[in-house]
Amino acid sequence: MVNKLAIVGAGPCGLLLAHYLLRRGEQYQIDIYERRNDPRTVPFSKSRTFPIALGNRGIAALQKIPGLMEAVKAMSLATTGSMIHQPNGKTRTITRKEPLFTLDRTNLAIALLNQLVEKYDNSRLNIHFNSQCTQVDFVAKQVTLQRDSAEKFTADYDLLVGTDGANSAVRDHLCTTELFECQKQYYRNEYKSIYIPNPTINLQPGKIHTWRIDDGTNIILLNQPDGSISGVIYFPQHKNQITSLTTTEEVQQFFHQNFPEVAQLMPQSEAEALLKRPISQVITIRCNRYHYDDSVVLMGDAAHAVSPSLGQGCNSALEDVVVFDNLLDEYVDDLAAAIENFSIRRQPDGDALAELSENAFPATKGLFLEFILRQRLSQILHQLFPQRFLPSLFEVLSDTTVPYRKILQSYEGWVSKVKNANNQFYSNL
Ligand SMILES: Cc1cc2nc3c(=O)[nH]c(=O)nc-3n(C[C@H](O)[C@H](O)[C@H](O)COP(=O)(O)OP(=O)(O)OC[C@H]3O[C@@H](n4cnc5c(N)ncnc54)[C@H](O)[C@@H]3O)c2cc1C
In tens, the pLDDT along 201-210 reads 889 999 999 9
Cα(322) to centroid of ligand 1, in Å? 18
Q: What is the mean pLDDT of the chain?
A: 93
Q: Where do runs of H (alpha helix) occur along 214-364?
A: 248-258, 260-265, 268-276, 301-304, 313-330, 335-359
| CATH classification for the domain delimited by 185-281, as one of 1.10.10, 3.30.70, 3.40.50, 1.20.120 | 3.30.70
Taking the C-alpha atoms of residue 376 and residue 81, their distance in angstroms, rounded to an integer, is 12
Distance, CA of 49 to CA of 28 (rounded, Å): 33
Q: Is the CB of 211 under 6 A from ligand 1?
A: no
Q: Please give the distance, rounded to the nearest whole angstrom, from the Cα atom of residue 409 to the centre of ligand 1.
A: 27
Locate the ligand 1 atom nearest the alpha carbon of residue 108 and give its number.
21
Asked whether 36 lines ligand 1 (CB < 6 A), one says yes
Q: Tens digits of per-residue pLDDT, 20-48?
A: 999 999 999 999 999 999 999 987 654 45
Q: Quick one: pLDDT at residue 426? A: 82
- Inform me whether the pLDDT recorded for 192 exceeds 70: yes
pLDDT score at 39: 93
pLDDT in tens, 324-376: 999 999 999 999 999 999 999 999 999 999 999 999 989 888 898 898 899 88
Decide: 99 and 78 in contact? Cβ < 8 Å. yes
CA distance to 225, 241, 250, 324, per residue, from 236 (Å): 30, 9, 19, 36
Q: What is the model's pLDDT at position 47?
A: 47
Beta strands (DSSP E) in 59-131 are 77-85, 91-104, 125-128
Residue 301 reports pLDDT greater than 60: yes
Query: Is the shortest distance between the CB of 208 and ligand 1 below 6 Å?
Result: no
Contact (CB, 8 A) for 353 and 307:
no
Mean pLDDT of 52-62: 97
pLDDT at 45: 55
For 139-163, how does the pLDDT look when each residue is reduced to its tens digit (9 = 90+)?
A: 999 999 999 777 899 999 999 999 9
Residue 53 confidence (pLDDT): 95
From the options 3.40.190.10, 3.90.1140.10, 1.10.357.10, 3.50.50.60, give the CATH code of 3-78+100-184+283-357: 3.50.50.60
| For residue 214, pLDDT beyond 60 | yes
Q: Where along the chain do its domains lie?
A: 3-78+100-184+283-357, 185-281, 364-427
Residue 268 has pLDDT above 90, yes or no: yes
Atom of ligand 1 nearest to the CA of 131: 43
For the stretch 382-408, pLDDT in tens is: 989 988 888 889 899 999 999 999 999
